[in-house]
């Protein structure tokens, strides 16, 4: 159980997931939130690829838990920079895992649905990964490092939704930015399937698993699934723009030059193990996306 005086080290806490995780933990225990991009007053600098910097910091603050969120997530950048991708997404895990192993403390690692090859329709926690892109392969190596620890939690996320206008770098905010720029027709792929993952619910699942002293592999996506087109359609409906903006289906070839990294046909996840522990931890993706759109002023 997480206690008030416990120190929780969070890496990569300046991103869209970090905002939710920090909010979830900050009033419960002593949080030491870090990132290489100090975009919040509550962040401290930590480069997870620098073993010496990690060693100095961890020995100084002596964390009781490590939550490893730090990662390179831009798939095209990873494809063009494989060495850096592995250095961050695999090497960074090794640097933090060293302290967790030496001190026998819980280590939580955020992985991705992208580690699967997409040949199945839906993936559960027992399905065998077969990553296709540099990003996915480097994240899977990080998974293997985390799994080698006796007190590890590997939590696989789906299509990330969260962070708000300031930090959301994924699909939802990309669509909204097109709308803000006056776009009257959106071209959205319908040949890629997945499960949205609400950062605020994922943060609650992280806290629950650590607090209940669980270990192992879990899926932390929302309930339900769909295509990118389905997400965009629901988004326009919730924003009251369904009759003002045209939504046009295209296949992935349409964006071939911009998004050239290989992506699985299906990244749909099912949360069997998490639901067995607590059925209230995951909600339908439409409920979560609706809540997310109401949470911030999107200026559309």
For residues 250-286, one letter each, b for 16 or more C-beta atoms within 10 angstroms of the residue's C-beta and e for the rest, the string is eeeeeeeeeeebbbbebbbbbbebbeeeeeebbeebb
Please check whether residue 146 lies inside any domain of the structure.
yes
Please check whether residue 290 lies inside any domain of the structure.
no
Q: Is 257 in a helix, a strand, or coil?
A: coil
Please check whether residue 230 lies inside any domain of the structure.
no
User: Where does the pLDDT of residue 255 fall: very low under 50, low under 70, confident under 90, or very high at 90 and above?
Assistant: very high
Number of helical H runs and strand E runs in the chain: 12, 15
User: Where does the pLDDT of residue 209 fall: very low under 50, low under 70, confident under 90, or very high at 90 and above?
Assistant: very high
CB 251 within 8 A of CB 188: no
What integer pLDDT is reported at residue 269 of this predicted model? Answer: 98
Q: Which domain holds residue 21?
A: 7-164+196-224+269-283
User: Where does the pLDDT of residue 195 fall: very low under 50, low under 70, confident under 90, or very high at 90 and above?
Assistant: very high
Going 28 to 38 to 17 to 68, the CA torsion angle's sign is: negative
Q: What number is the average pLDDT over the span 236-264?
A: 96
Please check whether residue 236 lies inside any domain of the structure.
no
Tens of pLDDT, residue by residue over 8-48, are 999 999 999 999 999 999 999 999 999 999 999 999 999 99
Q: Is 241 in a helix, a strand, or coil?
A: coil
Quote the mean pLDDT of the chain: 97
Please check whether residue 169 lies inside any domain of the structure.
no
Q: DSSP H helical segments within 81-220, as ranges?
A: 82-86, 92-103, 134-147, 164-167, 171-180, 199-211
What integer pLDDT is reported at residue 182 of this predicted model? Answer: 96
CA 120, 126, 131: angle at the middle one, nearest 5? 55
Number of domains the chain contains: 1
CB 266 within 8 A of CB 121: yes
User: Where does the pLDDT of residue 94 fall: very low under 50, low under 70, confident under 90, or very high at 90 and above?
Assistant: very high
CATH of the domain at 123: 3.40.50.720
Going 169 to 89 to 45 to 24, the CA torsion angle's sign is: positive
Residue 147, Cβ neighbours under 10 Å: how many?
17
Please check whether residue 123 lies inside any domain of the structure.
yes
Using only C-alpha atoms, the chain has a radius of gyration, in whole angstroms, of 19
d(CA 233, CA 237): 6
- The secondary element (H helix, E strand) that includes residue 246 is strand 246-250
Tens of pLDDT, residue by residue over 113-171, are 999 999 999 999 999 999 999 999 999 999 999 999 999 999 999 999 999 999 999 99
What integer pLDDT is reported at residue 97 of this predicted model? Answer: 98
d(CA 105, CA 100): 5
Half-sphere exposure of 105 (CA within 13 A, CB side): 20
Cβ contacts of 282 within 8 Å, gap of 6 or more: 201, 205, 220, 221, 222, 223, 271, 274, 275
Q: What number is the average pLDDT over the span 68-88?
A: 98
Please check whether residue 260 lies inside any domain of the structure.
no
């Amino acid at each position: 159980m997480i206690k008030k005086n416990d120190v929780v080290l969070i890496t990569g806490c300046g991103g869209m997931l970090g905002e939710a995780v920090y909010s979830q933990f900050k009033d419960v225990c002593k949080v030491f939130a870090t990132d290489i991009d100090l975009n919040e007053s509550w962040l401290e600098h930590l480069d997870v690829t620098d073993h010496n910097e990690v060693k100095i910091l961890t020995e100084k603050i002596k964390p009781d838990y490590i939550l490893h969120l730090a990662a390179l997530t831009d798939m095209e950048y990873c494809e063009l920079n494989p060495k850096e991708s592995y250095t961050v997404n695999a090497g960074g895990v090794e640097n933090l895992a060293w302290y967790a192993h030496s001190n026998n403390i819980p280590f939580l690692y955020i992985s991705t649905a992208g580690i699967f090859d997409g040949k199945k329709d839906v993936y559960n926690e027992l399905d065998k990964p077969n990553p296709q892109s540099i990003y996915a392969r480097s994240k899977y190596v990080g998974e293997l490092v985390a799994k080698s620890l006796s007190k590890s939690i590997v939590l696989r996320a789906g299509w990330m939704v969260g962070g708000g206008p300031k930090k959301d770098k994924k699909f939802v905010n990309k669509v909204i930015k097109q709308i803000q720029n006056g776009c009257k027709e959106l071209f959205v792929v319908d040949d890629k399937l997945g499960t949205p993952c609400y950062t605020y619910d994922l943060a609650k699942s992280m806290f629950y698993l650590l607090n209940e002293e669980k270990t192992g592999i879990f899926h932390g996506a929302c309930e339900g699934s769909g295509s990118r087109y389905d997400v965009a359609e629901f988004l326009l409906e919730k924003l009251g723009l369904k009759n003002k903006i045209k939504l046009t289906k295209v296949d992935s070839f349409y964006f071939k030059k911009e998004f050239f990294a290989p992506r699985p046909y299906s990244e749909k996840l099912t949360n069997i193990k998490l639901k067995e522990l607590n059925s209230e931890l995951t909600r339908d993706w439409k409920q979560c996306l609706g809540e997310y759109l109401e949470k911030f002023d999107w200026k559309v």
